[in-house]
Chain A
Amino acid sequence: MSNIQPQRRTRSWLIALIAILAGGAVAWLGWTRAREQFFYSYLVAWIFWTGLSVGSLGVVLLHNVTGGHWGYAIRPIARAAAGVLPLMAILFVPIALNTIRLYEWADPYVVENDPALQHKAPYLNTDSFQLRAAIYFAFWFLLLVLLAWQNRSAPLPDTPADRRFRRLSGQGLALHGVAVTFASVDWLMSLEPHWFSSIYGLIVFVSQGLLGLAFAIFIRTIADCRSAVLPAPEANVLHDLGKLLLAFIMFWAYVAFSQFLLIWYGNLPEEVIWYNKRIEGQWAPVALALVALHFAVPFCLLLSRKWKRDPRRLGATAALIIVMDWVYFLWMVEPTAEHGRLSYVPWLDLGLTAAIGGVWWLIFLLLLPPLAAVRVEPESAEERHG
């Protein structure tokens, strides 16, 4: 396996470079031809890759708190994915400097004529938007430092040092939830500053966690597909990961549907506008696709024990979830600016996602230890049920 790895890495690097070049060309085309959409597409791409890093960070923290064999199999992958966060902070700069192109509340002319936005101005203004983003990233960097410190000292289980990392991770995870909630309000919900939903932060939090988990499983299964015969402990770990993925999919459907049900049932004009844009017209098929491919299909597939234990099938399901999570962020962002735009061009979203994804991937590869090292050691009797 170790001699195959460098070749695959080279191919990986090549694909990333092609994605950056092709995506960059598309982005340039979009910049010249569809300027009004450029920043929305940039936001989709940025929020997707940021969500992947932030979600991976959450997965590692979660594993620090709960322990268990499933986590050791994907930890290095999730840690590397979380490690790309500094890049995402740099890529946030174009958004922070161009709030007026994305957010109504950043446009003084709009705010002047809108009492509701004037009322919200103490929170929703460009200065505090930038300041809050700096705080979120500073907090996430702190968590990355914590993880690096833990990785360096590598404490033995149940030593005081191990318990300290566990406690810090628990506290960090709670604050992480707060940070993601506020960040999701700033970056996504305030795209439509009149609309509000109190469960929104949780939905984004779950989407990111699901994305991080699905990505780690996907990379993990690629490594597993290399080995011809899957030893039993590996299949057991995949089984656990599949169950966790199923639980996250159900959690996502649960919170996403909860928001829909309350708004649909309340039927209040200021609340339903968000869904009216997204479940009618050209976005209706996307909404249906989300129900089918982000929930129903993977849910039914992952019910099967055989499916969860097969690296190819589990990997394909994880890949489907990753793609659909991207569609989910797209579906949340793009319908915002529908009014006043001549025509929506999906290729710009794809191009920018590929371009940012290429850079993300290169840094991820630098941080990822050789996957051959990421093997699950045979489990001991008392740890098996962890």
Chain B
Amino acid sequence: MPDHLLLEAAAPPDVYGVLGEFPSADQLVEAARLAHEAGYRRMDAYSPFPVHGLAEALGARATRLSFVVLLGGITGGVLGYLLQYYCVVVSYPLNIGGRPYHTWPSFIPITFEMTILGAALAAVFGMLALNGLPRPHHPLFAVPEFNQASHSRFFLCLEARDPHFDLDRSQEFLTHAGATYITIVES
């Protein structure tokens, strides 16, 4: 029995995380910094406007999006060039004013445009793939107070999937960090 209880307490399967509300942006940043110092990694902060230094406090690392965009751009450019090469050199060679078939300078504008297109598509869809949007529902939406996150409140959510997470200790941690309101978010 105690074993079973202990397991319940550590991370019950139906808990998404614990949510703490903070009175100001500065306190939110401070709490995020403390949480990162305490070893929490799976967490997120919610505020009505972009808060300077919050991403750094959460320990957010550079995303892989730039790499995805680079690959998208290169792919677009190479495909654009090959398409033109195939059309005018392989598939349907035409003699235009005695110019060589492989007129590379005239391929450049389309190659350039295709590079931009490839990079832009990779940026949009890569961003969606990496951040998991569009997402119709999120466990936090079940918390009534969370509505206020888009106009007046600051929240920090420690998520249950963090190995460091402990239902009681994480709530205690938020209290110490200065949270004015704490709730358990069900998944």
Contacts and interface: CB of A to CB of B under 8 A. Distances in A.
B106 A261 contact: yes
Contacts of B70: 303
A235 to B, nearest CB: 12
Nearest to B51: A381
A41 B134 CA distance: 61
Given A267-B97, A381-B52, A384-B52, A305 B105 contact: no
B62 A305 contact: yes
B108 A257 contact: yes
Contacts of A260: 105
A265 B106 contact: yes
A264 interface: yes
A343 B43 CA distance: 71
Interface in A252-288: 257, 260-261, 264-265, 267
Given A303-B70, A305-B62, A305-B66, A264 B52 contact: no
A55 to B, nearest CB: 25
B109 interface: yes
Interface in B106-127: 106, 108-109
Interface residues of B, number: 12
A160 B106 CA distance: 50
Interface string B49-79: 1001000000000100010001000000000
Interface string B131-149: 0000000000000000000
Interface in A354-386: 379, 381, 384
B109 A261 contact: yes
Interface in B86-110: 97, 99, 103, 105-106, 108-109
Contact of A264 (B49, B62, B105, B109): B105
A376 to B, nearest CB: 14
A192 to B, nearest CB: 22
Contacts of A305: 62, 66
Nearest to B73: A303
B62 to A, nearest CB: 7
Contacts of B103: 265
B59 to A, nearest CB: 15
A267 B109 CA distance: 18
A44 to B, nearest CB: 27
B108 A261 contact: yes
A264 B49 CA distance: 52
Nearest to B56: A232
A261 B99 CA distance: 13
A253 to B, nearest CB: 9
B53 to A, nearest CB: 8
Contacts of A379: 52
A261 B62 contact: no
Nearest to A254: B112
A261 B105 contact: yes
Interface in A178-218: none
B137 to A, nearest CB: 30
A260 B70 CA distance: 27
A265 B98 CA distance: 11
20 contacts: A257-B105, A257-B108, A260-B105, A261-B105, A261-B106, A261-B108, A261-B109, A264-B105, A265-B103, A265-B105, A265-B106, A267-B97, A267-B99, A303-B70, A305-B62, A305-B66, A379-B52, A381-B49, A381-B52, A384-B52
Interface of A: 257, 260-261, 264-265, 267, 303, 305, 379, 381, 384
5 interchain residue pairs of minimum CB distance: A261-B105, A264-B105, A265-B106, A381-B52, A257-B108
Given A267-B97, A267-B99, A305-B62, 14 more contacts: A257-B105, A257-B108, A260-B105, A261-B105, A261-B108, A261-B109, A264-B105, A265-B105, A265-B106, A303-B70, A305-B66, A379-B52, A381-B49, A381-B52
